[in-house]
Chain A
Amino acid sequence: MHEVKKQIQSRKWSVPQNTTLLIKQRQDSAIVFHSKSGETHQLNDIGIAALLIIQQHPVSLNDLADQINKLYEVETPSELTVRLQRLVKDFEILGLIEPFKE
């Protein structure tokens, strides 16, 4: 069980090839247009920060939590990881990100 959990947290995520994200950022939130799906999403500050990090280069859940913590320093690391896990799952369902194939 612990092994599976470790696996999930070390799996890397990336934005699929040929994906265009149009982003309008305003202060604490952003509107994202996903060209492949034609869908529009509103994200809060952590959501857009996470998406932009994943867009830059493939990243694991743990690394993502570290980088977000450096930017915001607002939550305890374990709470943030749980929150990011949910966020990453939502992003995957929406087709914004996918597991990175090395």
Chain B
Amino acid sequence: MSDNFHSEKNFIFNFLQNPEISNSYTKQQWSLLLRIARNANILAHIGWLLKLKNIFDDAPSKVKDNINAAQTIVEYRKQTALWELDRLHHALNGIGTDIIALKGGAYLIAQLPFSEARMFADIDILVKKEKIEMIEDMLLKQSWKSMKMDDYDQKYYREWSHEIPPLRHIARTIEVDIHHTIIPPTSRLNPDPQKLLAETVASNENGFKTLSSYDMTLHSATHLFYDSDLDNKLKDLIDLDQLITHFCKKENDFVNKLIVRAGELDLQRPLFYTLYFTQKLLGTKITANELKNSKKISGVSFPTVILMDILVPLAILPEHPDFPRLTVRFARWLLYIRSHYLRMPLKLLIPHLLYKSKTRWEASKSAA
């Protein structure tokens, strides 16, 4: 392999689709894999894939050391998350309403295999809208605090995106985000929360519930393709590949049923992008028919698919740290605008973007 990454554009995707390719890696290729994976927060996941294929022990000792270090951080974050869920359950005991764990918390509670080596961030929970104030109140009385932020951010959260700012217990560092919908209420997509709550699944853990396998997948799909700018979000795409692959083993005809459910929740578009890009970039087993069906009911136009086909891989692909490309920056900027456009009406979008870029410019000026 030459050191020129661009001749190996699919380096990371090739590994993810077929980890045994690393049996013939040079030292330079291993170095590159470690760097890219660490930056993308998937280094522990790489280790998990190597262990699944029984080739972890054969890897060079430096690779094992770096992966063990990443796995140690993952274990610590998992423990922190589970403890926070424990304390939330303790604090909200007897509250008389369902509390649903979302995203990483849900994967941990449901003990999905890939959650073993998945880097965790913050806790997200879903509750009924009318219960939010009471829950926030109960937590604030038991030493959780609303995250300090300026008046603009508080207003943004409460009035514009109809959410409350994250909470954090005074003795701990993990943030708790309480939602009443799975996508910001001001966005163009509006999956009915009642439909989600009707299909929740009880778990063994701490009285928390999780979304159904279909809704869990659709939430992740919507979060990636409608609530984020895709910047360096390979990890989220991997989550989707893992969710779909896992549930396909557990349930009959999972993908087709997923497409039906997406129709019920009006989430056909994010699901189409999910099926299309997990199949294309990570080799997820989606049949041509399933893809065709999903595209048809999503109503995505041909030109849009072409455009996303160019932008998404550019934005999602982790960059070679030594050779950052302008095309990638441009693609990420376009998708950043897109994600905000999808998240809020135009009349809020422009002032919001102006305010955010002004604060960013001021911050960079003072650092210089």
Residues of A within 8 A of B (CB): 35-38, 95, 98
CB<8 Å pairs between A and B, sample of 8: A35-B79, A36-B79, A36-B82, A36-B86, A38-B79, A95-B87, A95-B90, A98-B90
A70–B79 CA distance with the chains assembled, in angstroms: 38
Report the Cα distance A36→B79, complex, angstroms. Answer: 7
Is there contact, CB below 8 Å, between B86 and A38?
Answer: no
Task: Give chain A nearest CB distance to B39 CB in angstroms.
Answer: 26
Interface residues on B, range: under 10
Q: Do B80 and A95 touch across chains, with their CB atoms under 8 A apart? A: no
Q: Does chain A have a CB within 8 A of B83?
A: yes
Mark out the residues of chain B between 328 and 363 whose CB falls within 8 Å of any chain A CB in the assembled complex: none
Q: Which residue from chain B places its CB closest to the CB of A98 in the assembled complex?
A: B90
* Cβ contacts under 8 Å, B25 to chain A: none
Report the minimal beta-carbon distance from B204 to chain A, rounded to whole angstroms: 11
- The residues of B with any CB-CB pair to A shorter than 8 Å are 76, 79-80, 82-83, 86-87, 90
Majority secondary structure of chain B interface residues (helix, strand, loop or mixed): helix
Cα of A38 to Cα of B76 in the assembled complex, Å: 8
A98 to B80, CA, bound (A): 19
* Residue in chain B with minimal CB distance to A34: B83
Q: B86: which A residues are within 8 A, CB to CB?
A: 36, 95
Say whether chain A's binding surface is mostly helix, strand, loop, or mixed.
Answer: loop
Cα A95 to Cα B80 in complex, Å, equals 13
A36: chain B residues within 8 A (beta carbon): 79, 82-83, 86
Complex alpha-carbon distance, A98 and B93, angstroms? 12
Most buried by A among B82, B83, B87, B90: B83
State A36–B83 Cα separation when bound (angstroms).
6
A95 and B79 alpha carbons, distance in the complex (Å): 14
Least distance between A50 CB and chain B CB atoms (Å): 21
B80/A38 in contact, CB under 8 A: yes
6 smallest CB-CB distances across A and B, nearest first, come from A37-B83, A38-B79, A36-B83, A36-B86, A95-B87, A38-B83
Contacts of B76 in A (CB 8 A): 38
| Distance between Cα atoms of A38 and B90 in the complex (Å) | 17
Contacts of A98 in B (CB 8 A): 90
Report the Cα distance A38→B80, complex, angstroms. Answer: 8
Contact partners of A37 in chain B: CB under 8 A: 83
Given A37-B83, A95-B83, A95-B90, 9 more A-B residue pairs with CB atoms under 8 Å apart are: A35-B79, A36-B82, A36-B83, A36-B86, A38-B76, A38-B83, A95-B86, A95-B87, A98-B90
Q: Which residues of B contact A38 (CB under 8 A)?
A: 76, 79-80, 83
A4 smallest CB distance to B (angstroms): 19
B87 and chain A: residue at smallest CB distance: A95
Task: Tell me the complex Cα distance, A36–B76, Å.
Answer: 11
Name B86's closest neighbour in chain A (CB-CB).
A36
Min distance, Cβ B181 to any Cβ of chain A, angstroms: 31
Q: Which residue of A lies closest to B205 (CB)?
A: A18
Report the nearest B residue to A16, measured CB to CB: B86
**C-alpha spacing A35/B79, complex, angstroms:** 8
CB-based nearest A residue for B76: A38
What separation, in Å, do the CA atoms of A35 and B76 have in the docked complex?
Answer: 11
Q: In the complex, which residues of chain A have a beta carbon less than 8 angstroms from the beta carbon of B82?
A: 36
Query: Complex Cα distance A38/B81, Å?
Result: 11
What CA separation (Å) do A37 and B87 show in the bound complex?
Answer: 9
Nearest chain B CB to A101 CB, angstrom units:
11
A38 to B87, CA, bound (A): 13
Q: How far is the CB of A81 from chain B (nearest CB, A)?
A: 25
What chain A residues lie within 8 Å of B90 (beta carbons)? Answer: 95, 98
A98 to B90 CA separation, bound complex (whole angstroms): 9
Q: Kindly provide the distance from the CB of A15 to the nearest chain B CB, expressed in whole angstroms.
A: 13
Q: For residue A88, give the distance in angstroms from its CB to the closest CB of chain B.
A: 16
Q: Which residues of A contact B79 (CB under 8 A)?
A: 35-36, 38
